[in-house]
Every structure is written in structure tokens, then in C-alpha cells.
Amino acid sequence: MFVQIIQGGLAADRAELKEALDRWERELESSAEGWLGTTAGVTDDGTFIGIVRFASVEAARRNSERPEQHRWWTETSKLFRGDVTFHDCTDVDLMMDGGSDDAGFVQVIQGRIRDLEGLRAYLRDMDEQALRGFRPDIIGSITAYHADGGFTEAAYFTSEAEAREGERSQPPQEMRDEMDKMMAFYEGEWTYLDLREPWLSSP
């Protein structure tokens, strides 16, 4: 899987951007070979983030090279203020069920990784069933690793209310110890972007 992260401050009303994304689905999706889906939304402070999944780098490149795609982005980019940043990610991991168009709330987490190989080895051995039992509100997640050592993770929840309730739950000591081990693979603080009304689409 290949993931492109698109992020920027919204200058227009979010309804205008939603209509632009809907227009892409109506007019361009059918010819976007290899497109697997999009998770997008706007935070309370007006930050847009889109996580677009393709089957491969080649499929994403063919999509971006289409004249109709170029025209669509030229118009859509006018809805942002300042620069829009892109991260092209060839390293992608799924946890549990990955993403879901049925999610009622998506939290995007961004930060930096100290030891990627160690983290991925740790995650491969993680007891997902124990996590499911403790946090049934978590559907799954998609994590895309940036070329510069950063990461973007989209965590999918059944609803924001259930996610907040889950956050307040005290995990068992064994699970807390495992979480402490996992945090050793990261560095610095994390940034959280809450998509209270996520825009979720797939073929």
C-alpha cells in the first residue's frame, strides 16, 4: 500500500472543500486506477488533513499525472491558506482492522520515531486481542511512515463519545508496562488532530 498525506490550513468554508472532494468522487474516482480509499476531515481550528490510499506508488503517480486530476487540484488548492504539505509514504502498517468507513470518529496522530525497525517488530508481537477486549471502541488504525522520520497515524473509533470514555479507562498494569515499552521507540511530543466529522470513502 502507498499513502499520501495532504495537510493544510483551510481558507474557505469546510462545506466548499467537502463539495470538492465529493466532485472528485463523482467525476474522477471511476478512472483512478488503484485508489483504495480516503480518510479526510477538518479539525476545530481549520486544519485539513487527508490520508489517501493507493495500491502502489505507480498507481498514485498515474493518478496525479492525469490532466483532469491536475485541473481538479488546481481549483481545490485555492481553498487553502498558505502552503499545503504532502508526505508520500511507501511504508505503511495496519493495526487490527485498519481503517473503516463506518468509523464515527478519527483521531490523527503525528510525531517522530527514534527506532522504526524496533517499533515495527514490537507491533508485530502486540496482543491485539487484549487491546480489543480493553478498548472495544477502537476499530483499528493505519500508520504511514514519512521519509524524514515522522509518522502519521489515523486511529478509527466507533464514536467520539466511546473513544473519550475509553481514554478515561485505566488499563491493567501489564498493558501499561507494554505501552511504556512502545513509547521508547518514539521521540518528542505527539500532535493530535481530531476529525469529529470524518469524511470517509472507498471504491
pTM of the predicted model, to two decimals?
Answer: 0.92
| pLDDT, tens digit (0-9, with 9 covering 90-100), for 154-198 | 999 999 999 999 988 888 888 888 888 889 999 999 999 999 999
Q: Would strands 35-42 and 47-54 be described as parallel, antiparallel, or unpaired?
A: antiparallel
What digits encode the pLDDT tens for the residues 56-109? 999 999 999 999 999 999 999 999 998 999 999 999 999 888 889 999 999 999
Question: What distance in Å separates the CA atoms of residue 106 and residue 158, rounded to the nearest whole number?
Answer: 9
Residue, of 133 and 5, whose pLDDT is higher: 5
Q: Taking the chain, what is the end-to-end CA distance rounded to the nearest angstrom?
A: 15
Helix, strand, coil share of the chain (percent; to 5): 35, 40, 25
Tens-digit pLDDT profile for residues 10-26: 998 999 999 999 999 99
DSSP 83-110: EEEEEEESEEEEEET---TT-SEEEEEE
pLDDT of residue 45: 95
